[in-house]
Amino acid sequence: MNTFLKRIIVLLFFVAIGVFTYSYFNDGLQKPKSPKKTVSFKVDDLKLEVFYNRPSKRNRQIFGALVPYDKVWRTGANEATTFETNKALKIGNDSIQAGKYTLWTIPNDTVWHVIFNKKQYEWGVNNETLEPMREPAFDAINITVPVHKINGIVEQFTIAFDNSTDNLALTMAWDDVKIEVPLK
């Protein structure tokens, strides 16, 4: 092989290494727009855990726009949000057994329907239709909770457990809205 071809091959090799390195570090250094979050709660022998992705407001109108009213929402971004309990729980007037559930919501301006679904889904929406993956036949609980308007703005969608008054609740807050799902 002549010297010119060898130099071209070496040059292309180093260009490929440079492109790969730039791509790897550029993607690795960018902060994700909807970072993953796991929230845990433990008291006595009860263990609860929620895994979800946290989208940001970023100067957008959220409820009634980005998250439409009266339509199923994956309750976060990207993967389906999961809720796991090691004990049976009473949620409102209904109960769920120990296990892992996907968590779906149907937001409205005055109430939200919070749905605990028995099926595990890899992703929150169908990539072709952009419709939520939830299958209603697997719903374990569908509870309606009131919307509370809050002072200030919650920039990133946040799920938490609140046991500050000895009344355990699963809370969700984003923008100027907060809901509380009673757990016993």
Comparison of pLDDT for 53 and 7, the residue scoring more: 53
pLDDT at 181: 97
pLDDT above 70 for 24: no
Q: What is the DSSP string of the chain?
A: --HHHHHHHHHHHHHHHHHHHHHHHHHHHSPPSS-EEEEEEEETTEEEEEEEE--B-TT--TBTTTB-TTS-B-SSSSSPPEEEESS-EEETTEEE-SEEEEEEEE--SSEEEEEEESS--SSSB-TTT--B---GGGEEEEEEEE-EEEEEEEEEEEEEEE-TTS--EEEEEEEEEEEEEEB-
Does the pTM surpass 0.85? The reply is: no
pLDDT in tens, 37-96: 999 999 999 999 999 999 999 999 999 999 999 999 999 998 899 999 999 999 989 999
